[in-house]
Amino acid sequence: MTFDTSQLTSPAILIRKHLADHRRIRVLSAAAFVLFVAAIFFARGGKAPGLSVAPIFAGALLAFASGAAAETFQRNMWLWLSFGFLLAWQAAGALFGDMPRPISDFSKIGLLAAFFLFTAQASRVLNTRQILWIIAGIGAASAFLSIIVHVVTAPDLMDRMIPLGRGGNPIPGAGALACALIATVALWRDEKGRDRRTMAILLMLAMPLVAGLVLTQSRGPIVALCLALPLAFLFERRGMLLVLMTCLASWLIVTGLVIFEPNIKAIICGSNIDWCRPSNRGEVWERVRDQIALHPILGSGPEFRFPYEWLSHAHNGLFGIALYFGLGGLAASGLMAAGYARCLTRGTDETLRFFGLASLIFAFGYMGADLPNPYAFFNTHYLFMWFPILLVLARNRSSFNVKATSVAPVPGIAQRI
């Protein structure tokens, strides 16, 4: 299947005519990406969705204007069919399920599709190193300022730090900081053997990121990151099956730490009530299991909420997918992950491959204790999970196999996953 550019909508044609200067498109696209990352790390609460979603849709429109959208449709029909399946699955749940499915369920998949076009456009105008420097630099600045705010305002320095930015919570905030640290390590690998000045800058970026992660006291993301970085070093040149097994192992380790939490705390915990605070995941997962048993095929829908103040969501990514989308949705998500792993392991851009692999392993580990619905509305998982995945998929074969060194448009070579 191909995408005919003559079928572009009238607004897209008008935008293309208005932005006929390709240099202008590149500048606007780069600015949209910088604004997106800055909003992730600095805009908190109700302001964050608007400030972050606006650059996404702007980048998606620029993708139509530049032709990146047509290339993305051609090269990634597999992923677009996956999005179509998610929409069809939601429609089946609305028509045949016995749980309500509001229209907002569908808009979230639409936002994710727009984000793919946004990522494709960013990939078209920025090379891998530029993208990673932006994430690492803005993330480090956010971590540094978060630490200052915490020191100045916290009643007790040992309290959990809430990072600045979209998360507004230590756990998703830690996810964003972890993504910036992964980008920093990927740049360190790429810059290894170069001038000492660059390595010193990367070390300066890493220090506030590490300190910020520790101060969040978010045990799940920290354990997931400690697994992701060494495993990415070990398995970055391996095949799809081993990559998937590594991701599943990361999820199992974090999930297992929660399951055996009482035994572990009995051994290592003393009077420390901060790091040894109860996670309360066990009872949550029991209720999640019971709810999955009630609607195993189509799920309970992404808008389902338990009628308890203490229970907000499933606190586990794979359990949450099965809860909201059913076992069929969980199987489809597994196939999507396999397709991505296949594309990832075929690339020879070592920096992008490491960044994508480490981020994927981290995301699976993170889902061992949180992120119940990866297809949910905008949050920091759009940076640490979806952006690395979609960035790898947005690269065509030639741009992924050779490190991009310019901002010239990517040649349109068809690639189907």
pLDDT of residue 405: 38
Q: Return the DSSP state at 402.
A: S
- Which position has the token pair 């992923």? 79
d(CA 165, CA 138): 11
User: Cα(240)–Cα(243) distance, rounded to whole angstroms?
Assistant: 5
What pLDDT score does 273 carry? Answer: 63
Domain count for the chain: 1
Within-domain flag for 10: yes
Distance CA 320, CA 114 (A): 23
pLDDT on residue 414: 31
Does residue 405 fall inside a structural domain? no
d(CA 117, CA 63) in angstroms, rounded, equals 6
- Measured CA distances, 15 to 63, 65, 68 (Å): 10, 6, 14
pLDDT for position 49: 60
409 occurs within a structural domain = no
Inter-CA distances, 111 with 49, 104, 107, 251, 370, Å: 12, 10, 6, 26, 21
Predicted local confidence at residue 282, as pLDDT: 78
**Is residue 334 domain-resident?**
yes
pLDDT score for 156: 84
Residue 143 is assigned to a structural domain of this protein: yes
pLDDT in tens, the chain (417 residues): 444 544 555 555 555 555 556 788 899 999 999 999 999 999 876 555 677 789 999 999 999 988 888 888 888 887 788 888 888 887 887 777 666 677 777 788 888 999 999 999 999 999 999 999 999 999 999 999 999 999 999 888 888 999 998 878 899 999 999 999 999 999 998 876 578 888 999 999 999 999 999 999 999 999 999 999 999 999 888 888 999 999 999 999 999 988 887 777 777 776 556 667 766 777 888 889 999 999 898 888 888 888 777 777 788 999 999 999 889 889 989 988 988 888 888 877 889 999 999 999 999 999 998 999 999 888 899 999 999 999 999 885 444 443 443 433 433 333 332
Quick check: is 341 in a domain? yes
Per the domain annotation, does 416 fall within a domain? no
Is residue 375 included in any domain, yes or no? Answer: yes
Report pTM: 0.86
**How many other C-beta atoms can be found within 10 angstroms of the C-beta atom of residue 302?**
25
Q: Could you list the residue range(s) of the whole structural domain that residue 23 is in?
A: 5-397
